[in-house]
């Protein structure tokens, strides 16, 4: 597949790619150190309340893990934050100043929120480098200039992301030839090209080898601080390895929150989640 055909595929996919945004727009106000405010959030589908009066506050630069049984509301919460689903009631603010409700998925991505879905979606017929180049060109709004040369600054940016995700040696390899874990890292890199302030990452280590899981823990930990990382995950050992704060969702609301030790010793969590599935 040619670069032009791939770019056409990228712009016509059935979901909004988080990096398809121009490098401009309002800046998030984190003067109170909180980057994500969620208050009184509720949404129902055909009479089923998926999110139920949920309150959640995530600090700027932290790495937060969200856990909970299937149907606890984790995916619906991510959908609301990114504009895919509209809630019935509640507030969602990015920093103190940016109301996310009512904005489109593309507008929310433009504000600096990137989402990584569980299944990696990369362009397998293109090289690792070309995948990042496509993400960079889309982010900078230069879709017609597919044959133009990248500036040295843009090449440096791609090289920097390659080092961050640990794929410098695979830059010329087709994405389809990568391992499952490497594809996950490449898609994270495609998000990083847009330099998001908040990364939402859904089950990043599902299907990974032990070595890939360890490397993913190192990668996500390294990203926190300069940006905020929210991870939805079921692997409790992985969660323990990366999280300082864990939020447990149950029936669409926050059941418990604290360190991993506090969560694992909480009788309510043991009853509804850990005791059954772990």
CA quadruple 2, 191, 114, 66: dihedral sign? positive
The torsion of the CA quartet 271, 273, 276, 278, rounded to 10 degrees, works out to -120
Q: Across the chain, where does the E strand assignment appear?
A: 34-45, 48-59, 63-67, 89-94, 98-99, 113-116, 198-202, 228-232, 245-250, 253-258
What confidence score (pLDDT) does residue 2 get?
57
What confidence score (pLDDT) does residue 141 get?
57
Please tell me the distance from the alpha carbon of residue 100 to that of residue 92, in angstroms, as a whole number.
Answer: 6
What confidence score (pLDDT) does residue 275 get?
63
The domains located in the chain, with CATH, are: 3-277 (3.40.50.300)
Alpha-carbon Rg of the chain, whole angstroms?
Answer: 19
Q: Which of 244, 188, 235, 255 is nearest to 62 (CA)?
A: 244
Per-residue pLDDT of the chain (278 residues; tens, 9 = 90+): 555 555 555 544 444 444 444 444 577 777 779 999 999 999 999 989 999 999 999 999 999 999 998 889 999 999 999 999 999 999 999 998 899 999 999 999 999 999 998 777 899 999 999 999 998 877 555 554 555 677 889 899 999 999 999 999 999 999 999 999 999 999 999 999 989 999 999 999 988 999 999 999 999 999 999 999 999 998 889 999 998 899 999 999 999 999 999 999 999 998 887 665 44
For 62, the 3-state DSSP assignment is coil
For 5, the 3-state DSSP assignment is helix
């Amino acid at each position: 597949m040619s670069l032009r055909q791939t770019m056409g595929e990228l712009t016509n996919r059935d979901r909004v790619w988080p990096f398809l945004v121009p490098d401009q727009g309002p800046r998030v106000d984190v003067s109170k150190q909180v980057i994500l405010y969620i208050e009184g959030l509720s949404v129902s589908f055909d009479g089923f309340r998926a999110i139920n009066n949920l309150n959640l506050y995530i600090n700027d630069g932290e790495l937060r893990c969200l856990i909970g049984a299937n149907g606890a509301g984790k995916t619906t919460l991510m959908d609301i934050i990114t504009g895919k689903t509209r809630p019935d009631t509640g507030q969602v603010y990015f920093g103190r100043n940016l109301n996310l409700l009512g904005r489109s998925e593309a507008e929310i991505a433009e504000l600096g929120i990137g989402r990584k879905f569980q299944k990696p979606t990369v362009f397998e017929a293109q090289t690792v480098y070309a995948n990042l180049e496509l993400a960079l060109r889309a982010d900078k709004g230069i879709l017609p200039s597919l044959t133009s040369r990248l500036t040295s600054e843009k090449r440096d940016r791609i090289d920097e992301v390659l080092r961050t995700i640990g794929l410098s040696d695979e830059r010329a390899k087709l994405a389809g030839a990568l391992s499952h874990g490497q594809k996950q890292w490449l898609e994270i890199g495609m998000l990083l090209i847009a330099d998001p302030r908040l990364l939402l990452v859904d089950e990043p280590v599902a299907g990974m080898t032990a070595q890939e899981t360890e490397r993913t823990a190192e990668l996500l930990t390294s990203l926190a601080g300069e940006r905020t990382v929210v991870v939805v995950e079921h692997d409790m050992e992985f969660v323990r390895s990366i999280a300082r704060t864990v939020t447990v969702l149950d029936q669409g609301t926050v059941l418990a929150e604290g360190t991993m030790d506090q969560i694992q010793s909480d009788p309510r969590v043991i009853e509804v989640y850990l005791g059954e599935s772990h």
